[in-house]
Amino acid sequence: ADASTVTIRTRKFMTNRLLQRKQMVVDVIHPGLANVSKVEMREKLAKVFKSETDLVFPFGFRTQFGGGRSTGFVLVYDSMESAKKFEPKYRLARQGLVEIKRIARKQRKERKNRNKKLHGTEKAKGKKAKKSND
């Protein structure tokens, strides 16, 4: 029940020239292990496809009932530029290649409610709402 017993098989392999990547369905056989980490998978697949680990994007893995086997999808990009160009931001963030800055929920809601009082193009500029003197 260690990393050496893990076997990775690829199915439905396709070279996608348009998106500058290789894409495939991956079957991971891991008897005695609950599952295999994506980091471990990336390292093994990078070795197989003679690529860097940063260019391998595994996702959507599901463990079959009874365990011992998982199936998922893997994309291996040709270059970092193409990976950053075509890969969704959340998957890049998972790999630590890009930082997603989040605005606090409270701040978002406050801004939304302030914008309700504004009219037309003022919303984009974020001008202050006029106080009505009634």
Q: Mind listing the pLDDT tens digit for each residue in 65-104?
A: 998 999 999 999 999 999 999 999 999 999 988 888 889 9
Q: Is the pLDDT of residue 128 over 80?
A: no
- Report the first-to-last Cα separation within the chain, whole angstroms: 76
At residue 126 the predicted structure's pLDDT band, cuts being 50, 70 and 90, is confident
Q: Which two tokens stand for residue 46?
A: 């990078």
What is the pTM for the complete model shown? 0.77
Q: What mean pLDDT is predicted for residues 50-64? A: 94
pLDDT number for residue 100 = 86
Q: Which has the higher per-residue pLDDT, 71 or 123? A: 71
d(CA 96, CA 54): 9
pLDDT number for residue 30 = 92
Buried b (16+ CB within 10 A) or exposed e, 75-98: bbbbeeeebeeebeeeebeebeee
Q: Is the pLDDT of residue 134 over 80?
A: no
Output the average pLDDT for the chain. Answer: 90
Q: What mean pLDDT is predicted for residues 44-50? A: 94
